[in-house]
Amino acid sequence: MSETRRAFASVRATARLIAIKDLRIERRGRVLTNQVLPFALIVMVMFAFALDSDAVLERVAPGLVWLATLFSTLFVIARSFAVESADGALDQLRTSGAPSAGIFLGKALALMAQLLVLVVVLVAAAVVLYRADISGQGGVLLVTTALAATGGLAAVGTLYGGLSAGAKGRETLLPLLVLPVVAPVLIGATRATESAFGTNGIAVSEGWPWLGLLVVFAVLFSVTGAIAFGSLLDE
Amino acid sequence: MALDLPVELSDAVAVLGAFPVLAGANLTVQRGEIVLLRGPNGAGKTTLLRLCAGLIELERGRGRVLGHDLSTDRWSVRHRVGLLGHANGLYPDLTVTENVAFWGRTVGASDAEIAAALKRMALDGRLADVQVSRLSAGQRRRTALAALVARRAELWLLDEPHAGLDASGRDELDEVLRQAARAGATIMVASHELERAGTLATRQVEVVAGQVRDLGATS
């Protein structure tokens, strides 16, 4: 096996190991199901109370879904790195010799899996609370949008979660770092979801270019994160 | 590589911020030794351990750990050492076996190696499937050491390993460390508990103001 293939195999094995570990910890701790999902649903209900108009809610439903996703994402990112720093596991990861790209991809994959669950629940909430409507073609667009958007959010979240993991005031630093950077995801995912929901008569075909933006964003931050994560962990 | 000394530091300088925590430290450690690092708070014991783990840069001087030059190749040191500070580096929601297996697999350890690490720390019985959050402090320490064994750590760098343990936990830990040294591991222990750690160590060194003074072998 060549050196490059061996390096890729090592990154893949580490990513798998880290992702399984993180998802196992989540399954045991149930922070997503017992805390993050209820929070996200409360946000959706509060939006409904605040706007108090079926017509307005139907129009803004895609944006509310992704705003609630963004806010909830911050908790999931914080949790993902809290488990590493609670008992000094981060230092062990640094000295484990595991490839940092593998650590990054593993944590990002686990984060993405949790965010996908979150988005599914929030879209269902939008259908129930805001009377959002999804057609067959819109469904395909919505699923691919959710995959690309959560991929981008997970990559950014892992990158900045790693950066702020050892910093003082990381709880407040994380939103400051993450929210401005993920603005393109909010815009792209909202526009694509408007097309998927047919909000204001927007055609499904108009959503695909926005999906392109989301894919480019996810790939860009995944590659950047895989390259830079080792240095960030060392800081 | 097998003949390299585990630790060779010569006039080593390590800086935290602008402050030289290690200021020309000299230290040589032989394979299988248990070396006690003693000295007051802020003397540089933890920095010395982290330098040997490849976690901080060697600013000046020369340093080799397990044959790797700390100036040019400190990344290669990392996966051959095990650093345990005040924390255990464990995931409380995972079981003992899951924790040890996770750390073992980061270096490609086989199922047999993981089972052997658990057995060596007497964790292969009823504790194997217990979540770490439900263990006593001593049992957690033992799990962390099993993880070091599973990670094939050749140089164990322990910072105040007795902290938080009751008397039986401390006895248990000392026995584990003696066994590890007999099995070929090299161990450096930073501790303020001189009486206890002194009986464990085969040699003592004193770290004062960033300098290392050899106090010789313990009787």
- Which stretches does DSSP call E strand in B39-93? 60-65, 68-69, 81-84
Full residue range of the structural domain in which residue B107 is found: 92-152
Minimum Cα–Cα distance from B85: chain A residue: A88
Q: Which pLDDT score is estimated for A1?
A: 63
Q: Check whether B179 has a pLDDT greater than 90.
A: no
Separation CA B5–CA B154 (nearest Å): 11
pLDDT at B156: 93
DSSP collapsed to 3 states, chain A: CCHHHHHHHHHHHHHHHHHHHHHHHHHHHCHHHHHHHHHHHHHHHHHHHHHCCHHHHHHHHHHHHHHHHHHHHHHHHHHHHHHHHCCCHHHHHHHCCCCHHHHHHHHHHHHHHHHHHHHHHHHHHHHHHHCCCCCHHHHHHHHHHHHHHHHHHHHHHHHHHHHHCCCCCHHHHHHHHHHHHCHHHHHHHHHHHHHHHCHHHCCHHHHHHHHHHHHHHHHHHHHHHHHHHHHHHHC
pLDDT at B3: 60
Residue B1 has pLDDT above 60, yes or no: no
**B146 & B135 share domain:** yes
- Please give chain A's pLDDT, 235 residues, in tens: 688 888 899 999 999 999 999 999 999 999 999 999 999 999 999 999 999 888 899 899 999 999 999 999 999 999 999 999 889 898 889 888 889 999 999 999 999 999 999 999 999 999 999 988 887 889 999 999 999 999 999 999 999 999 888 777 778 899 999 999 999 999 999 999 999 999 888 999 999 999 999 999 999 999 999 999 988 877 6
Residue B25 lies in a domain: yes
| B79 vs B77: CA distance, rounded Å | 6
Cα gap B7→B19, rounded to integer Å: 23
Q: Domains in chain A: how many in total?
A: 1
Full residue range of the structural domain in which residue A62 is found:
3-234
**Claim to verify: residue B174 and residue B211 sit in the same structural domain:** yes
Q: Does A50 touch chain B (CB under 8 A)?
A: no
What phi and psi, each to the nearest 5 degrees, are found at residue A52? 50, 40
Query: Is residue B87 in some structural domain?
Result: no
The CATH code of the domain that includes B69 is 3.40.50.300
Torsion angle of alpha carbons B45, B50, B51, B56, nearest 10°? -130
Which chain B positions have a beta carbon within 8 Å of A21's beta carbon?
Answer: 91, 94, 98, 102
B2 and B75 housed in the same domain? yes
- To the nearest whole angstrom, how far is the Cα of A6 from the nearest Cα of chain B? 13
* Per-residue pLDDT at B66: 93
CB contact under 8 A, A95 and B81: yes
Q: Are residues B136 and B103 part of one domain?
A: yes
Write down which residue in B103, B129, B152 finishes a domain: B152
What does the alpha-carbon distance between residue A54 and residue A73 come to, in Å, rounded to a whole number? 27
Contact between A140 and A211 under an 8 Å Cβ cutoff? The reply is: no
Reported as a pLDDT band with limits 50, 70 and 90, residue B13 is very high
What is the band of B170 on the pLDDT scale with cuts at 50, 70, 90?
confident
Indicate whether B86 belongs to any domain.
no
Number of domains in chain B: 2
**Do B73 and B158 have their domain in common?**
yes
Q: List the single range of A20-24, A195-199, B78-82, B163-167 with lowest mean pLDDT.
A: B163-167
Parallel, antiparallel, or unpaired: how do β-strands B7-16 and B60-65 relate? antiparallel
Q: Does A12 touch chain B (CB under 8 A)?
A: no
- Domain shared by B114 and B183, yes or no: no
Same-domain check for residues B146 and B160: no
Distance from CA of B79 to the nearest CA of A (A): 4
Average pLDDT of chain B is 89
Burial of B196 (0-12, 13-18, 19+ CB in 10 A): middle
